[in-house]
């Protein structure tokens, strides 16, 4: 029997609302992540598709599960909303996985909750498939993110701009606690709850902070450090989250709530895909600054815990923010050095990276392929890289500088090449492929493209001939300009 241990449900009553998933008419299994289920220790090895569909639609509740919706607030596009909460998500409970890590299992699209406001609590099939693909891509790319455990269709339709087939997505997270969870209680001046939440977060995600002189400051530092690392990793693969509202930032440091997220095709530093991001607040290159802004909102909530003296508390919080601002560019540079196959540090490295990015930008070159083809160039096969650019003179000049610089590395070229290929993916979940598989599923009930892509994105650092179609950037008519929210 699957062992649930629901620590969040044991927090004070005002943290959650107990709520059962709403039954759906005719659930059918689209996908079930068996290796992940095994990792979680779920006792489902004997369950057939029909039973899995019942479980992951919310029609059947596993023993030990205590379904609930979590309360949270959040800054949405900079404006504070004191009450959001799980309006279309229901936490089934927590399990301790086979490696001893506590993991949340949550249904998304499983019906209304006390936090639904005017929403229907449902999810359309398209966003369910998108989140499944992108979560598993992030995992394969080695970037912390919530995982996909299952997807089902409901046999019901949801009303959006048009009627669409409904789905339920099951995700697994280290926790679903967000910056906005702290904000919910800070907005109510509920210091007791902030402390209880912080203690829970320390126990769950930052146990070392307990030993620090000031555990709450250490927790804030830990969260800031995890976010910094996460955003640097996003930038390295051209990922744009799309809605970095404070309610979509997990304190665990995992990527969460993939709404209108997208990966860059051609490199444009201020690229925005999301249809709702009119001001470009969450553009690719704005993400580090936004992460820092979100951490500042978190720090404000924690002031009463940091020090009794307001000025001391503010000074500590500002220290964390200043540290973020100072450290991010260093981490970014080390990441891009790694993409260029450089282990050592030299003063001119930043210019070398920036100049390449400038060339990629000016030539409107595909971000992912440029770095992947640079791996070939490191092996002596320069033409595939070079021929992506229009200004050959400039890229030749750059290549000569890079070669000279790489010549001063101590690591063997062969070893550096392996590292480069393990850093620069060949396959990212390209927007046009995602749109294509969603269209096949929604319009024709054909899930083959979804399953095909799932196989391809599982091996992002290999160039297998059978997956070469997933490496290709979009042709003119395939280009995706806008992505839409999960709702």
Contact residues: ligand AMP, CB under 6 A: 84-88, 115-116, 119-122, 243, 247-248, 257, 259, 485-487
CB of 37 to ligand AMP, least distance (A): 24
Q: Answer with the entry of ligand AMP, Mg ion, none that 121 interacts with (C-beta below 5 to 8 A by kind).
A: ligand AMP
Give min distance, CB of 131 to ligand AMP, in A.
10
487 contact choice in ligand AMP, Mg ion, none (CB below 5 to 8 Å, kind-dependent): ligand AMP
Q: Return the one option of ligand AMP, Mg ion, none that residue 269 interacts with (CB less than 5 to 8 A, by type).
A: none
- 402 contacts: CB under 8 Å, gap ≥ 6: 340, 352, 356
Q: Beta strand 79-81 with 74-76: parallel, antiparallel or unpaired?
A: antiparallel
Pick from ligand AMP, Mg ion, none: which does 486 bind, CB < 5 to 8 A by kind?
ligand AMP
Question: Running DSSP on this structure, what letter comes out for residue 366?
Answer: B
Q: How far is the CB of 72 from ligand AMP (least distance, A)?
A: 7
Smallest distance from ligand AMP to CB 18, Å: 16
294: contact with Mg ion by CB under 5 A = no
CB of 129 to Mg ion, least distance (A): 18
With contacts defined by CB under 5 A, name the span among 185-193, 205-213, 246-254, 367-375 that binds Mg ion. Answer: 246-254
Residue 23 binding target from Mg ion, ligand AMP, none, CB below 5 to 8 Å by type: none
Strand partners, 75: 80
Instruction: Give min distance, CB of 88 to ligand AMP, in A.
Output: 4
Q: What's the min distance (Å) between Cβ of 117 and ligand AMP?
A: 6
Does 257 help bind Mg ion (rule: CB under 5 A)? Answer: yes
Q: State in Å, rounded, how far the first CA of the chain is from the last one.
A: 34
Closer CB to ligand AMP, residue 172 or residue 243?
A: 243
Cβ(144)–Cβ(253) under 8 Å? yes
Which CB sits closer to Mg ion, 81 or 143?
A: 81
Q: Which is nearer to ligand AMP, 121 or 363 (CB)?
A: 121
Which span (255-263, 351-359, 424-432, 468-476) binds Mg ion, by CB under 5 A?
255-263
Find the shortest distance in angstroms from Cβ 147 to ligand AMP: 17
**Residue in 104, 247, 277, 366 annotated catalytic:** 247
**Secondary element (H or E) of residue 195:** helix 191-205
Pick 244 or 388: Cβ nearer Mg ion = 244
119 binds, among ligand AMP, Mg ion, none (CB under 5 to 8 A by kind): ligand AMP
Is residue 247 part of the annotated active site? The answer reads yes
Cβ proximity to ligand AMP, 104 vs 247, nearer residue: 247
Measured from the CB atom, the residue of 183 and 248 that comes closer to Mg ion is: 248
Alpha-carbon span 159 to 192, nearest angstrom? 41
Burial of 1 (0-12, 13-18, 19+ CB in 10 A): exposed
Binding Mg ion by CB under 5 A: which of 16, 183, 248, 294? 248
| Contact criterion met (CB below 8 Å) for 339 and 354 | no
In whole angstroms, what separates CA 360 from the centre of its chain? 25
Among candidate residues 78, 80, 54, 69, the one with its CA nearest the CA of residue 8: 69
Residue that the structure tokens 């304190």 belong to: 251
Extended strands (E) in 42-177: 68-70, 74-76, 79-81, 89-96, 102-108, 123-124, 147-159, 163-173
Residue 39 interface partner, choices Mg ion, ligand AMP, none, CB cut-off 5-8 Å depending on type = none
Instruction: Report the C-alpha gap between 36 and 463 in whole angstroms.
Output: 25
Candidates 28-36, 244-252, 361-369, 391-399: pick the segment binding Mg ion (CB under 5 A). Answer: 244-252
Binding partner of residue 122 among Mg ion, ligand AMP, none, CB cut-off 5 to 8 Å per kind: ligand AMP
Phi, psi (rounded to 5 degrees) for 274: -60, 130
> What are the distances in angstroms from CA 18 to CA 55, 90, 205?
18, 9, 24
Chain centre distance of CA 120: 24
Footprint of Mg ion on 122-151 (CB under 5 A): none
85: partner contacted, choices ligand AMP, Mg ion, none (Cβ within 5-8 A by kind)? ligand AMP
Interface stretch with Mg ion, choices 257-265, 329-337, 355-363, 398-406 (CB under 5 A): 257-265
Nearest-CB residue for Mg ion: 257
Tokens representing 28 are 């059918």
Q: Which is nearer to ligand AMP, 21 or 85 (CB)?
A: 85
Do the Cβ atoms of 295 and 317 come closer than 8 Å?
A: no
Taking the least distance from each CB to ligand AMP, the nearer of 122 and 176 is 122
Query: What H or E segment, with its residue span, contains residue 339?
Result: helix 310-339
Phi, then psi, of 423 in degrees rounded to 5: -110, -35
181 vs 15: CA distance, rounded Å: 9
Half-sphere exposure of residue 67: CA atoms within 13 angstroms, side-chain side? 23
CB 20 within 8 A of CB 56: no
User: Residue 12 or 119: which CB sits closer to ligand AMP?
Assistant: 119
Chain residues that interact with Mg ion, rule: CB under 5 A: 248, 257
Catalytic residues: 247
């Amino acid at each position: 029997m699957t062992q649930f241990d629901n620590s969040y449900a044991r927090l004070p009553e005002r943290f959650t609302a107990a709520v059962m998933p709403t039954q759906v008419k005719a659930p059918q299994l689209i996908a079930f992540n068996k290796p992940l289920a095994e990792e979680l220790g779920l006792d489902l090895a004997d369950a057939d598709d029909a039973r899995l569909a019942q479980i992951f639609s919310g029609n059947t509740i596993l023993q030990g599960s205590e379904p609930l919706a979590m309360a949270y607030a959040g800054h949405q596009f900079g404006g504070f909303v004191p009450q959001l909460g799980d309006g279309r998500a229901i936490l089934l409970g927590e399990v301790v996985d086979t490696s001893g890590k506590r993991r949340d299992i949550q249904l998304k699209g499983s019906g209304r909750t006390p936090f639904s406001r005017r929403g229907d609590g449902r999810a359309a099939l398209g966003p369910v498939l998108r989140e499944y693909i992108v979560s598993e891509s992030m995992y394969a790319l080695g970037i912390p993110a919530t995982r996909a455990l299952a997807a089902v269709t409901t046999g019901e339709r949801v009303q959006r701009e048009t009627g669409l087939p409904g789905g339920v997505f099951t995700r697994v997270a280290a926790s679903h606690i967000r910056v906005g969870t702290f904000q919910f209680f800070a907005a109510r001046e509920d210091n007791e709850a902030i402390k209880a939440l912080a203690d829970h977060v320390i126990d769950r995600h930052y146990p070392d902070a307990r030993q620090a002189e000031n555990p709450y400051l250490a927790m804030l530092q830990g969260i800031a450090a995890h976010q910094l690392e996460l955003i640097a990793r996003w930038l390295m693969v051209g990922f744009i989250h799309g809605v970095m509202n404070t309610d979509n930032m997990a304190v665990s440091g995992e990527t969460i709530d993939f709404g209108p997220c997208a990966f860059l095709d051609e490199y444009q530093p201020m690229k925005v895909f999301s249809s709702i991001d009119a001001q470009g607040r969450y553009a690719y290159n704005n993400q580090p600054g936004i992460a820092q802004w979100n951490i500042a909102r978190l720090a404000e909530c924690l002031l009463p815990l940091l020090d009794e003296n307001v000025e001391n508390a503010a000074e500590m919080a500002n220290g964390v923010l200043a540290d973020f601002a100072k450290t991010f560019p260093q981490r970014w540079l080390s990441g891009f050095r790694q993409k260029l196959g450089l282990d050592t540090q030299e003063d001119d490295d930043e210019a070398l990276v920036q100049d390449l990015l400038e060339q990629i930008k000016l030539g409107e070159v595909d971000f992912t392929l440029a770095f992947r083809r640079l791996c070939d160039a490191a092996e002596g096969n320069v033409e595939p890289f070079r021929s992506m650019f229009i200004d050959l003179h400039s890229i030749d000049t750059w290549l000569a500088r890079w070669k000279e610089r790489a010549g001063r590395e101590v690591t063997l070229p062969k070893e550096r090449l392996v590292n480069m290929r393990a850093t620069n993916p060949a396959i990212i979940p390209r927007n046009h492929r995602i749109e294509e598989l969603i269209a096949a599923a929604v319009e024709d009930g054909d899930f083959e493209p979804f399953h095909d892509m799932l196989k391809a994105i599982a091996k992002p650092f290999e160039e297998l001939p059978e997956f070469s179609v997933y490496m290709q950037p979009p042709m003119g008519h395939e280009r995706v300009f806008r992505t839409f929210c999960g709702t």
